Amino acid sequence: MPIYEYRCTDCGHTLEALQKISEPVLTTCPACDKAALTKLVSAAGFQLKGSGWYATDFKSKPAPACPLKPEGGDSKAADTPPPACAANCACH
């Protein structure tokens, strides 16, 4: 169930309420008993628990090494991919 924040427009009292989405909006302030509560817009907070959705689940795999990359040698040649490389490897 989500936690909603409310503020009284009359006395300024703020509160949090754990409510179902289907429940009606609170209107009566518990501090001054006036019908002056307004629902605040706030950032949603949630936690992912258990096995499943982790940052490591969708990370891309490292690109394969380029078989055409020269070992050592000229650094300018390594910056420009060879024609068969097609820029899909880790050589640049």
Specify if 47 maps to a domain.
Answer: no
The whole model's pTM is what? 0.47
Residue 56 lies in a domain: no
- Looking at the domain assignment, is residue 11 inside a domain? yes
41-55 pLDDT tens trace: 877 666 666 666 666
Residue 79, in any domain of the structure = yes
pLDDT tens track for 62-74 = 666 666 655 655 5
What pLDDT band is residue 90 in, cutting at 50, 70 and 90? Answer: low
Q: What is the extent of the structural domain holding 86?
A: 63-92
Split into its structural domains, the chain has a count of: 2
Q: What are phi and psi of 60, to 5 degrees?
A: -75, 150
Residue 51 located in a structural domain: no
Instruction: Output the average pLDDT for the chain.
Output: 75
Residue 83 three-state SS: coil
Q: Is residue 29 part of a domain?
A: yes
Q: What is the DSSP string of 43-76?
A: -------SSS--GGGSPPPPPPPPTTPPSSS-HH
Flag whether 18 is in a domain: yes
